[in-house]
């Protein structure tokens, strides 16, 4: 998986994304969402395709190439990042940025906007904001093991416990 993470990271950097956005896409979003080239229903019944895309493209029966999935991830990251950063009023490290973008990509901008996490973040309680990630492990009132794992990875990155090492190709 390290090759896949590095590969997606490098491709996103080549698209012109910052290191924070590329880290989020390559090390948090893509591995946790997985890539499925054919639209499917996620655990809570939402039509999903590629790297967790739930937009209008995600219609059951639609199929996408690997390149189309990467392009869609890049578009989705750009959109989510712009919306998220319009809400954040404090400076972020690349690791914090990557973690909160992964959360926003997964849980949605609306949930981020109304969260205690954002309130703590914007009051410069960085550690408290990172700790809030652990609370977001439920979907339709069901605790999902995949979300527990993902939120721990996001929290570790947010708190600076994860360091990214790029493997040369």
pLDDT in tens, 44-55: 899 999 999 999
CA distance 98 to 160: 11
What confidence score (pLDDT) does residue 86 get?
A: 98
Question: Does residue 33 carry a catalytic annotation?
Answer: yes
CA distance 138 to 16: 34
What is the widest separation between alpha-carbon atoms in the chain? 45
**Residue 2 belongs to what H/E stretch?**
helix 2-14
pLDDT tens digit sequence for 9-20: 999 999 999 999
What confidence score (pLDDT) does residue 5 get?
A: 86
What confidence score (pLDDT) does residue 3 get?
A: 57
Query: Whole-model pTM?
Result: 0.93
What confidence score (pLDDT) does residue 44 get?
A: 85
**Residues 6+ positions from 5 with CB-CB distance below 8 Å:** 26, 27, 30, 31
What confidence score (pLDDT) does residue 6 get?
A: 85
Question: Does residue 42 carry a catalytic annotation?
Answer: yes
From the list 42, 57, 94, 156, the catalytic residue is: 42
Q: Which residues of the chain have pLDDT under 50?
A: none
Class of domain 2-158: mainly alpha
Residue ranges of domains in the chain: 2-158
What confidence score (pLDDT) does residue 1 get?
A: 52
């Amino acid at each position: 998986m390290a090759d896949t993470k590095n590969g997606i990271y490098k491709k996103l950097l080549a698209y012109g994304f910052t290191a924070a956005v590329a880290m989020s896409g390559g090390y948090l979003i893509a591995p946790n969402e997985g890539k499925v080239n054919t639209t499917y229903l996620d655990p809570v019944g939402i039509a999903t395709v590629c790297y967790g895309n739930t937009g209008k493209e995600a219609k059951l029966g639609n199929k996408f190439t690997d390149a189309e999935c990467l392009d869609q991830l890049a578009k989705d990251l750009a959109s989510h990042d712009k919306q998220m950063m319009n809400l954040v009023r404090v400076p972020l490290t690349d690791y914090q940025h990557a973690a909160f973008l992964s959360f926003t990509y997964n849980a949605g901008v609306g949930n981020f906007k109304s969260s205690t996490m954002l309130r703590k973040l914007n009051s410069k309680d960085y550690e408290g904001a990172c700790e809030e990630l652990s609370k977001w492990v439920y979907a339709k009132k069901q605790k999902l093991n995949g979300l527990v794992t993902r939120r721990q990875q996001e929290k570790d990155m947010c708190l600076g416990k994860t360091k990214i090492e790029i493997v040369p190709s």
